[in-house]
Structure 1
Amino acid sequence: MPVPSSPTSVFVFGSNLAGRHGKGAALWARHHRGAIYGRGVGPQGDAYAIPTKDRHLRVLPLPVIRSHVADFLGYARHRPDLRFEVTPIGCGLAGYRPDQIAPMFAGAPANVFLPDAFRVVLSASSGEVRHG
């Protein structure tokens, strides 16, 4: 078996606290990356769930999402061996805009790769482009 030349890729997706990975990126993560039905937060398989909705599928307030993003960024900092590919969490079924979510990822470690919509927002506010 060949040795991989790059770090393991982790699919980072928006979820709900009930762990009902039934739509969008969460469903894809369940089918293709080992996301665990019933687990709405944290690492699972080759995926990482960041909640944007509560157990009753109501949209979480931005400060609560920010707390979950901070937890994720802490995890990513402690796992430099992994490459985290973030989807535009909160901008699909939760209904937030990239300019509301992207700033939560400011200062993300180099192993966190953000979606274009987030990078555009962050580069506009800092004058630089990250992970381009």
Structure 2
Amino acid sequence: MTVFVFGSNLAGRHGKGAALYALKNHGAIYGQGEGLQGRSYGIPTKDHYIRTLHLDNIRMHVERFLEFARNHPELTFNLTAIGCGLAGYTPEQIAPMFADAPGNVRKPPEFR
């Protein structure tokens, strides 16, 4: 199974960008801010109040995702450029968090 990986908020309000796309097309669950949801996986980049998380907090959520990906080699994860849209970070700030991603995580061009 291929999983669409998108930037989310902790409230699970998938109202814009890749999160809305995940909601409409990949089974994301409104109200669930993190983790596997249908054929999608949310990585929080914003808090419950839709404020951008600090990079250290995003890194914690990325590490949780990478652990999940390592534990599920049967899945392929199509990663979007999380944190680089509505959250306002640059690929140079976010991409290093995925430097040791397992082979089943397909990085977007911005992160390569």
Identity of paired residues, percent?
64
The answer for the alignment partner of 1:12 in structure 2 is 5
The answer for the alignment partner of 1:88 in structure 2 is 81
CA distance in 2, matches of 1:27, 1:107: 28
1:86 Cα deviation after fit: 0.2
The answer for the alignment partner of 2:55 in structure 1 is 62
1:77 aligns with 2:70: yes
1:22 aligns with 2:15: yes
Secondary structure class of the residue paired with 1:25: helix
TM-score (norm 1): 0.84
Rg larger in 1 or in 2?
1
The residue type equivalent to 2:90 in the other structure is: R
CA distance in 2, matches of 1:25, 1:41: 14
Secondary structure class of the residue paired with 1:93: coil
The answer for the alignment partner of 1:129 in structure 2 is none
TM-score (norm 2): 0.99
Per-residue CA deviation, residues 94-120 of structure 1 (Å, 9 max, x unaligned), is 00000000000011000000000000x
The answer for the alignment partner of 1:42 in structure 2 is 35
The answer for the alignment partner of 2:95 in structure 1 is 102
Per-residue CA deviation, residues 77-108 of structure 1 (Å, 9 max, x unaligned), is 00000000000000000000000000000110
After TM superposition, the runs of 4+ consecutive aligned structure 1 residues lying more than 6 A away are none
The answer for the alignment partner of 1:31 in structure 2 is 24
Cα RMSD for the two superposed structures: 0.3
Structure 1 gap ranges (5+) = 1-7, 120-132
Equivalent residue pairs, number: 112
